[in-house]
C-alpha cells in the first residue's frame, strides 16, 4: 500500500491509498474555500447516561446532488471536487461538515451542573471514498481493491486512536437512499468519538457480567456457540465466520467475526486480512441477491444496508471483540422495516423475519 498525504484548500487533510506507486498524486485544490467553522458539542443525557452530539452547523451540508456535481468524484474537465486529482483508488479526507472536530469550542454555561453536562465535541470525522467510479459499489470491487479499503480502515484506526481524547474509532458504510444516504457515490465514513458509543457501552457491561458469572469471555463463547449451531451460520472461512445473531434486531442481519478474538483492525494478522475481502464481498453480493426471485432475469436491485465495524474503546475495552455488523432495513422486496413507536420510542425491537429463516435465505443466494 502506498499512502500519499496532502491538504485541501481549507486546510483539511486528504490521504490517497494506492496499491502501487501512482503516476501522480498531490494536485492542488484550487477551490476558494474558507476554513470550516465547527461548533460541535456533546451533551450527556442525565437519564440514560448516553452522550448526544449537537452539530447544528451540519444543516448546510451537501444533500443528494446530481451525479455531475458529486463532490466525491475526481476533479475533471474544470469541475473541482473534494478530490483534486483526476483519478484515485481509495481516498480519505476530513469531512467538510463534521459532527466532531478537534477545534470544536467549549460550550458556554451550565458548568458544574450534573443535569446539564456539556463538553466540546472534539474528535474527527472522515469520509472514505471506496472508488473513483460513481456508478460502482463496494460489492463490485475486486478482492485486491477491497483489501486496499481494509488497509485504509486499519491505517485510520491506528492514527485516529492515537489522537488526544479519542475513546473509540468507528468505521462504517451507509448504502442506499432508503437508509438516508445524502451522497450516492460509493463511500463510507469514520468517526473518532470522544466517548464510547451507547451500544458499545452496553456490550462492555454485558461482557463484564459474563466474565463475572462464568470466568470466560462473552464474545469467544458466543462465536463458539454459533459455529457449533449451523442453523444461523451464513458463511465460514479459515479465519472468519458470518452468522445471523440469535436475537437479530433487523430482518436480515449478519455479524462477521474473526475466529481469533482481537480488539480492533490493527490487531489482525496478515492471513486474516488476506481472507477478509473474499468473505466480505461474498456477503455484500448475497445481500444484493436477497430480494430477487430465483431464475429472475436481469441484475438484482441494490439492497440498502448499513455496515458497521465494532472496535474496542480505549477504556474498559479489553473484553470486546472486533466484529462487523451488516444489516438491511428492507424486509421484503417492496417493504421496509421502519423504526416506529416501539423501536424508536423504547429501543425495543420487533423483528418480522426469524433469524433462522434469514440465515437460510442468505445461504440460498450464495455465489
Catalytic residue positions, numbered: 187
Query: In 3-state terms, what secondary structure has residue 105?
Result: coil
Count of all residues that appear for the chain in the document: 367
Cβ atoms 332, 214 nearer than 8 A: no
Q: Which residue has the cell 442506499?
A: 176
DSSP, res 147: H
Cell triple for residue 307?
455496515
CB 89 within 8 A of CB 147: no
How far apart, in Å, are the Cα atoms of 183 and each of 61, 153, 166, 308? 10, 20, 27, 18
Please report, for the chain, how many H helices and E strands are present, in that order: 6, 16
Q: What is the DSSP string of 227-290?
A: HT-TTSEEEE-SSEEEE--TT-SSSEEEEEEESS--SSGGG--HHHHHHHHHHHHHHHHHHHHT
Residue 149 near residue 186 (C-beta atoms within 8 A): no
**CA neighbours within 13 Å on the CB side: how many for 44?**
15
Parallel, antiparallel or unpaired: strands 330-332 and 51-54: unpaired
**Distance, CA of 288 to CA of 325 (rounded, Å):** 16
Amino acid at each position: 500500500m502506498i499512502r500519499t498525504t496532502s491538504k485541501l484548500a481549507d486546510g483539511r487533510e486528504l490521504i490517497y491509498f494506492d496499491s502501487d506507486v501512482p503516476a501522480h498524486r498531490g494536485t492542488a485544490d484550487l477551490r476558494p474555500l474558507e476554513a470550516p467553522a465547527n461548533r460541535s458539542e456533546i451533551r450527556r443525557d442525565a437519564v440514560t447516561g448516553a452522550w448526544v452530539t449537537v452539530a447544528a452547523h451540519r444543516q448546510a451540508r451537501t444533500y443528494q446532488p446530481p451525479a455531475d456535481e458529486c463532490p466525491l468524484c475526481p476533479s475533471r474537465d474544470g469541475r473541482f471536487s473534494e478530490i483534486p486529482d483526476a483519478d484515485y483508488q481509495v481516498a480519505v479526507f476530513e469531512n467538510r461538515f463534521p459532527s466532531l472536530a478537534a477545534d470544536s469550542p467549549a460550550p458556554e454555561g451550565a458548568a458544574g451542573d450534573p443535569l446539564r453536562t456539556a463538553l466540546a465535541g472534539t474528535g474527527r470525522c472522515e469520509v472514505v471514498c471506496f472508488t473513483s467510479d460513481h456508478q460502482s459499489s463496494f460489492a463490485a470491487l475486486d478482492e485486491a481493491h477491497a483489501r486496499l479499503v481494509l488497509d485504509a480502515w486499519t491505517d485510520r484506526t491506528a492514527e485516529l486512536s492515537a489522537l488526544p481524547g479519542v475513546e473509540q474509532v468507528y468505521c462504517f458504510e451507509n448504502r442506499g437512499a432508503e437508509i438516508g444516504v445524502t451522497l450516492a457515490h460509493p463511500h463510507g465514513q469514520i468517526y473518532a468519538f470522544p466517548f464510547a458509543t451507547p451500544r458499545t457501552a452496553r456490550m462492555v457491561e454485558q461482557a463484564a457480567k459474563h466474565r463475572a458469572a462464568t470466568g470466560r469471555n462473552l464474545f469467544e463463547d458466543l462465536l463458539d456457540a454459533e459455529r457449533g449451531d449451523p442453523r444461523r451460520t451464513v458463511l465460514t472461512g479459515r479465519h472468519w465466520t458470518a452468522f445471523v445473531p440469535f436475537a437479530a434486531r433487523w430482518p436480515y442481519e449478519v455479524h462477521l467475526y474473526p475466529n481469533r478474538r482481537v480488539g480492533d483492525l490493527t490487531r489482525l494478522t496478515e492471513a486474516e486480512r488476506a481472507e477478509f475481502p473474499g468473505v466480505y464481498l461474498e456477503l455484500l453480493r448475497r445481500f444484493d441477491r436477497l430480494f430477487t426471485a430465483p431464475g429472475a432475469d436481469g441484475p438484482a436491485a441494490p439492497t440498502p444496508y448499513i455496515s458497521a465495524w465494532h472496535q474496542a474503546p480505549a477504556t474498559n475495552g479489553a473484553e470486546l471483540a472486533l466484529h462487523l455488523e451488516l444489516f438491511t432495513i428492507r424486509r421484503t422486496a417492496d417493504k421496509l422495516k421502519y423504526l416506529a413507536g416501539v423501536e424508536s420510542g423504547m429501543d425495543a425491537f420487533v423483528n418480522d423475519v426469524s433469524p433462522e429463516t434469514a440465515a437460510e435465505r442468505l445461504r440460498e443466494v450464495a455465489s
